[in-house]
Chains A and B, each alone.
Chain A
Amino acid sequence: MSDTPATPAEKAPAVGSPQPGPEPGGGTFGEFKRAGGALYRATEIDGRLLGLMIALAVAWILFDIASRVFGQGGDSIFGGSFLTPRNLFNLSVQTASVAVMATGMVLIIVSRNIDLSVGSLLGFLAMVMAIVQKEILPDLIGFDHSLTWIIALTVGLAFGAAIGAGQGFLVAYLGIPAFIVTLGGMLVWRGGAFLLASGRTIAPLDPNFSAIGGGTQGSLGRLGMDLGVGSATLSWILGIIVVIGLVLLVVMARRRRQAFDFPTRPMWAEVLIVGVGSLLVLGAVWLVNAYEWPIRVAARYAEANGIEVPEGGLILSTGIAYPVLIMIAVAAVMTWIARRRQFGRYVFAIGGNPEAAELSGINVRRTIMLTFALIGVLVAISAAITSGRLDAATNALGQWNELFVIAAAVIGGTSFAGGIGTIPGAILGALFMQTLQSGMVLIGFDTAQQNIVVGIVLVIAVGIDTAYRRRTAS
């Protein structure tokens, strides 16, 4: 579940072990607490991730209630407008861009660096991809070619990788501090985005390209309709595939440990983890399928494709949005890189003790450079998501994103001291940041108030994390 080399099972005893001093609740409560501790330890769940999930759930409920009290209200179970399919669908789409970049920022911060240029680079790469699809490709292969989006995206990814590697080279091989290199990059790429298009906004984008950004027409619901399998089917199939994958992962990991006669988790803990995970996945699929296409969009689609509209309008599921699919895929790949690949292990080793890493024969410089190349690629993906969602490339695209990305990684448990951080944590951190913003919009906070709240929450979150870490350190 987590990328932190520290396995929670071994850290947990420090938390759950008998503490000196009086037990507050007395006998029965103490028993209960110990039993709970044993339960928690057996599941080997990362305590920080669990805490973040609980905080997220609490925030969602509070925002929902607050949206009824202070805002318009809605039709959720608490009578608010936050816990509605529509809002949660939008939340998932809005989270994707920052979450994708945050997974890369984890590796950057884990290896004791920082990247301040991601926001500006996003603007620059979005502009590059917009120019490729709107001004270069039409002359070569014509307008609305079916390959336009993939060529534009490939060029963007290549630029992202090259620029990231270039910044990484300056950091790793020339020894210029990452803070300075990427601070320079922040200015250079923002200026570059402006110069590329002489300050123009390029819009609209290629329709296939802008589908990357999501919305009711950039999701599995629309794809299912186009393929003639129904709007909800594909999302359900994907959800079931993920559940099967989860079961296989757990079973294979267990078999492997048994093959070596290593201690394994108790069976009930495995079942609990798979069960809760499956419920979350299928619940999320149900939720996005419950979000319907706007009536007019559905009517227009029915007309264009000769579908008969039944009484009461055509009801179509939106399903999982493409940016969310991309985010899930990126999270899976980045978790694999961080946990299962030599490169990921080296990144964490370098962050934990750079000298030891060097003495162990790790090519520290190359590894650092690659982390920057990797985040460059991720920024290109986010640039496609952000410009696709806006259906335009503007030179202010991605402004302040670097701060949200860093905040997401840090709220997700990434430590500036290096060597500690998780990919799922960063995704949850991004979701938490977006939750705050969406929630405050529903309550009716203006930008100034939002900024103040986000700033305070960031400091509190890291404060709690620091205290937690100190308590669990043995």
Chain B
Amino acid sequence: MTAEQTTTSTPETAAARPRPPIDSSGTPLVEMRNIKVAFGGVHAVDDVSLDLYPGEVVGLVGGNGAGKSTLMKCLSGAHPPDSGQILVDGHRAEIHNPRDAKKYNIETIYQTLALADNQDAPANMFLGRELKTRMGNLDDASMEAATREVIARLNPNFQNFKSPVKSLSGGQRQAVAIARAVHFNARILIMDEPTAALGPAETAQVRDLIRQLEKEGIGIFLISHDIHDVFDLSHRIAVMYHGKIVGVVNKDEVTPDDVLGMIIMGQALEDVTTPGAAAQA
């Protein structure tokens, strides 16, 4: 299960560094069991089970509408499942809304970044969890100080702490969204297309950050359309197709083409790799 073997396409990135193996003998950080979500008659997520261990990155891939984001919304509380169980540290977790999820230290970075556009970076970082003075007033100075500290680690060039975030660049907005998750000691981090809006340099930053977070023992679900991202960063890759999990594979045991085949055909690996059935990338 060592990571840095052969398949990655960009040897310069952090992916090339040695990674310790994931200890999957103990209790998983998160266990999602038999999750079902239906919109009308459509089964967006159909009886899906998936787990995540501390320090592990699980990539979640699949075509549009495969159910990746919906599955993660069950975990983040944005859309509670119709049925199924979620266990955190082996205990049943009741997650009905985003507030519940935060109690279990589950943090989410949404594709849309989910920022309050007219507020500044500190207000966004602490949105829903504001620091207050003894009088119960907002402690803007302390929030700004904490924000400056966290963001300085993520993006040293970031300066606009008093501008509304809508006036910031994509990378800066991303920094705010990530800072929010990092500052509150996420143990479980859901990243929905974290690099979709970013340039190459910023993407590299996000990759380094993911490496850093996994070293701290944080479990990460990574949703991405970019198969190379997923291969660089993940330990395991879960492929979804029409609301079901087609297969969960160890990154080291497959090639990007194998995974692409699973995404497109919606079949498990052994079916895909059968001679003649291999998919064209």
Q: Contact: A7 with B162, CB < 8 Å? A: yes
Indicate if A342 sits at the interface (CB-CB under 8 A): yes
A304 to B111, CA, bound (A): 75
CB contact between A361 and one of B99, B132, B162 (< 8 Å): that residue: B99
Contact A6 B118 (CB under 8 A): yes
On chain A, the residues within 8 Å of B97 by CB distance are 361
- Which of the candidate stretches A64-72, A135-143, A233-241, A257-265 sits at the interface with the other chain? A257-265
Binary A-proximity of B138-171 (CB < 8 A = 1, otherwise 0) = 1001101100000000000000101110010000
Given contacts A7-B162, A348-B118, contact A259 B141 (CB under 8 A): yes
Contact: B128 with A10, CB < 8 Å? no
> A359 an interface residue at 8 Å Cβ cutoff?
yes
Given contacts A5-B123, A340-B137, A345-B130, contact A359 B114 (CB under 8 A): yes
Q: Do the beta carbons of A419 and B114 come within 8 Å of each other?
A: no
Pair B138/A359 contact, Cβ less than 8 Å? no
Q: Does A153 contact B (CB under 8 A)?
A: no
Output the nearest chain A residue to B102 by Cβ-Cβ distance: A361
Distance (Å) between the CB of A3 and the closest chain B CB?
A: 11
- In the complex, chain B residues whose CB is within 8 Å of the CB of A259: 141
Q: Assess whether A7 is in contact with B118, with CB atoms less than 8 Å apart.
A: no
- A200 at the B interface (CB under 8 A): no
Q: Please, how many angstroms separate the alpha-carbon atoms of A369 and B76 in the complex?
A: 25
| Bound: A198/B78 CA distance, A | 51
B-chain residues with CB within 8 Å of residue A345 when the two chains form the complex? 119, 123, 127, 130, 138
B63 on the A face (CB < 8 A): no
Residue B120 at the A interface, CB < 8 A?
yes
Least CB distance from A209 to B in Å reads: 33
A9 at the interface (CB under 8 A from B): yes
Count how many chain A residues have C-beta atoms less than 8 Å from C-beta atoms of the other chain: 36
Residue A33 CB within 8 A of the other chain: no
User: Given contacts A260-B141, A356-B115, A360-B114, are A5 and B127 in contact (CB under 8 A)?
Assistant: no
CB proximity of B179 to chain A, nearest CB, Å: 13
Given A353-B115, A360-B98, A341-B127 contact (CB < 8 Å):
no
Given known contacts A361-B97, A361-B102, A348 and B116 CB-to-CB distance under 8 angstroms: yes
Contact A260 B144 (CB under 8 A): yes
Assembled-state Cα–Cα distance A339/B140 (Å): 10
Closest to A472 in B: B167
Chain B 96-131 interface 0/1 with A at a Cβ cutoff of 8 Å (1 = within): 011101100000101011111111100100011110
Bound-complex Cα distance A349 to B130 (A): 12
Taking a contact as CB atoms under 8 Å apart, the answer to whether A4 and B162 are in contact is no
A358 within 8 A of B: yes
- Check: A355 CB closer than 8 A to any chain B CB: yes
Known: A359-B108, A360-B114. A257 touches B141 (CB 8 A): yes
Contact partner, B138, options A341, A419, A474, Cβ 8 Å: A341
Please indicate which of the listed interface residues A259, A260, A340, A356 has the most CB atoms of chain B within 10 Å of its own CB. A356
Contacts of B145 in A (CB 8 A): 260, 262
User: Contacts of A359 on B, CB cut-off 8 Å?
Assistant: 76, 78, 98, 108, 110, 114
The reply to whether A6 and B141 form a contact with Cβ atoms under 8 Å apart is no
Tell me which residues across on chain B come within 8 A of A358, comparing CB atoms. 78, 98
A362 at the interface (CB under 8 A from B): yes
Min CB distance B53 to A, Å, is: 26
Judge whether A349 and B123 touch: CB under 8 Å: yes
Contacts of A5 in B (CB 8 A): 116, 118-120, 123, 164
CB neighbors of A among B6-24 (8 A) = none
Instruction: Contacts A10-B163, A349-B123, A361-B129 given; indicate if A340 touches B138 (C-beta within 8 A).
Output: yes
Contact (Cβ within 8 A) A7 B128: no
Report the minimal beta-carbon distance from B265 to chain A, rounded to whole angstroms.
Answer: 34
A204 to B138, CA, bound (A): 45
**Interchain CA distance A353-B76 in the complex, whole Å:** 18
Give chain B nearest CB distance to A341 CB in angstroms.
Answer: 7
Residues of chain A within 8 A (CB-CB) of B98 are: 358-361
**Cα distance A474–B163 when bound, in Å?**
10
> Which residue of chain A has its CB nearest to the CB of B99?
A361
* B125 nearest CB across to chain A (Å): 10
Chain B residue at smallest Cβ distance from A258: B141
Contact A357/B117 with A256-B141, A340-B138, A345-B138 known, Cβ cut-off 8 Å: no
A191 contacts across to B, CB distance below 8 A: none
A341 to B132, CA, bound (A): 9
Q: Which residue of B is nearest A44, CB measured?
A: B162
> Does any Cβ of B come within 8 Å of A98's Cβ?
no
- Alpha-carbon separation in the docked complex, A259 to B144 (Å): 12
Which listed residue (B76, B99, B117) contacts A352, Cβ 8 A? Answer: B117
B78 neighbours in A (Cβ, 8 Å)? 358-359
Instruction: Check if A357 sits within 8 Å of B116, measured CB to CB.
Output: yes
In the complex, residue of chain A having the shortest beta-carbon distance to the beta carbon of B114: A356
Residues of B within 8 A of A10 (CB): 160, 162-163, 167
Q: Could you say which residues of chain A place their CB within 8 Å of the CB of B142?
A: 260
CB of A413 closer than 8 Å to a CB of B: no
Q: State whether A420 touches B118 (Cβ < 8 A).
A: yes
Give the distance in Å from the alpha carbon of A143 to the alpha carbon of B136 in the complex.
42
Interface string of B72-97 (1 = CB under 8 A from A): 00001010000000000000000001
Q: Is A351 an interface residue (CB 8 A)?
A: yes
By the criterion CB–CB under 8 Å, are B118 and A352 in contact?
yes
* Distance between A374 CB and nearest chain B CB, rounded to angstroms: 17
**Neighbouring A residues of B114 by C-beta, 8 Å:** 353, 355-356, 359-360
Question: B144 contacts A4, CB within 8 Å?
Answer: no
Q: How far is the CB of A42 from chain B (nearest CB, A)?
A: 14
Across the interface, do A342 and B118 meet the contact criterion of CB distance under 8 Å? Answer: no
Is A360 touching B163 in the complex (CB atoms < 8 A)? no
B163 touches A7 (CB 8 A): yes
| Chain A contacts for B130, CB-based, 8 A | 342, 345
Contact with A along B53-72 (1 / 0, CB 8 A): 00000000000000000000
Contacts of B132 in A (CB 8 A): 342
Q: Are A4 and B116 interface neighbours, CB within 8 A?
A: no
Taking CB atoms, residues of chain B closer than 8 Å to A262 are 141, 144-145
Q: Return A466 CB to nearest CB of chain B, in Å.
A: 16
- Some 11 contacts from A to B, beta carbons below 8 A apart, are A4-B118, A5-B116, A5-B118, A259-B141, A260-B141, A349-B123, A351-B118, A352-B118, A353-B114, A356-B117, A361-B128
The 7 closest A-B pairs by CB, nearest first: A352-B118, A360-B128, A361-B128, A349-B116, A356-B114, A419-B118, A361-B99
Since A356-B116, A361-B128 are in contact, a sample of 18 more A-B pairs with Cβ atoms closer than 8 Å, ordered by chain A residue number, is A6-B163, A10-B162, A11-B167, A257-B141, A259-B141, A341-B136, A341-B138, A345-B130, A352-B118, A356-B112, A356-B114, A357-B128, A359-B78, A360-B98, A360-B114, A360-B116, A473-B167, A474-B167
